[in-house]
Amino acid sequence: MTFLHKSQALYAFLPPSCTMQVLEDKSCFLPARLASASYREAMPRPRKRQTGTAGPDRKKLSGKRTKTENSESTSVKLENSSLEMMTTFKNGGKNLSNYWLMKSEPESRLEKGIDMKFSIEDLKAQPKQTACWDGVRNYQARNFLRSMKLEDEAFFYHSNCKQPGIVGLMKIVKEAYPDHTQFEKSNPHYDPSSKEDDPKWSMVDVQFVRMMKRFIPLEELKTYHQAHKATGGPLKSMTLFTRQRLSVQPLTQEEFDFILSLEETEPS
């Protein structure tokens, strides 16, 4: 009869495919792949959950509907979080900006029997030239709405039309609060997953300030954007061209001031 050393006896019960390595204390054994530092480093680690905030109240205010985007997936929410951080750096470390570009459709388009049209002329026609900016259904655009402060300035941008571009100026006169259209079943912006005690979507109130001295078309802005990418000019990183589908976009003061200066010049 052959007698085995205790370490040899342990090896005898392991399958041939399982390679073992002896730890420094010589008293226990682990598969080599589990003992290696590279394997431990490759193991997935738990990820933190992203959370959002809700608007401060539920006041309902009648107003026209604005152009919106569809709700996005969780992965897009995470991407949006990163983009917001990038915007903060873009604005010198401040909490986003005090300047905005907000898009709306100036031409009629029916959706579920409701006209989505809301031009700057429609805003001027509202009582006190003030209306709620409702219907935003994109997480990053919603978060930008929630970042707005009283007296923030915004360009009114006509979109989804024959000649898109900047037509006027408005200001924020009420900070973010729950968008009532998310609870209206007959509304194109109804969201059955949103609850009144935990609303997903927010809106702000805007007030007309003035028309631009001249219309600033998208094509002109695009020309400057392309040139500034090469020269490092003010519009080199403008969100209008890096995140085209967002209906609510932040502007740096440099971008805002440059665009405002264009109304004093002849069209390029």
pLDDT of residue 268: 73
What pLDDT band is residue 97 in, cutting at 50, 70 and 90?
A: low
Which CATH number does the domain housing residue 79 bear?
Answer: 3.10.590.10
More confident residue, 190 or 86: 190
The domain total for the chain is 1
> Is residue 99 a part of any domain in this protein?
yes
**CA 88 – CA 20 distance, rounded (Å):** 52
Is residue 193 in a domain?
Answer: yes
Q: How many residues does the chain have?
A: 268
- Whether residue 110 lies inside any domain: the answer is yes
Residue 43 is assigned to a structural domain of this protein:
no
**Burial class (CB within 10 angstroms; exposed 0-12, middle 13-18, buried 19+) of 12:** exposed
Q: What is the mean pLDDT of the chain?
A: 78
Q: Quick check: helix, strand or coil at residue 208? A: strand
For residue 261, list its beta bridge partners: none
**Per the domain annotation, does 47 fall within a domain?**
no
Give the DSSP H/E element, type plus range, for residue 114.
strand 114-115
pLDDT in tens, 2-56: 444 444 444 444 454 444 443 344 433 334 433 344 433 344 433 333 333 334 4
Indicate whether 233 belongs to any domain: yes
Residue 67 CB neighbours (<10 A): 21
Domain of 102 in residue numbering reads as 74-261
Check pLDDT > 80 for residue 237.
yes
* Beta-bridge mates of residue 155: 101, 169
pLDDT tens-digit map of 185-234:
999 999 999 999 999 999 999 999 999 999 999 999 999 999 999 999 99
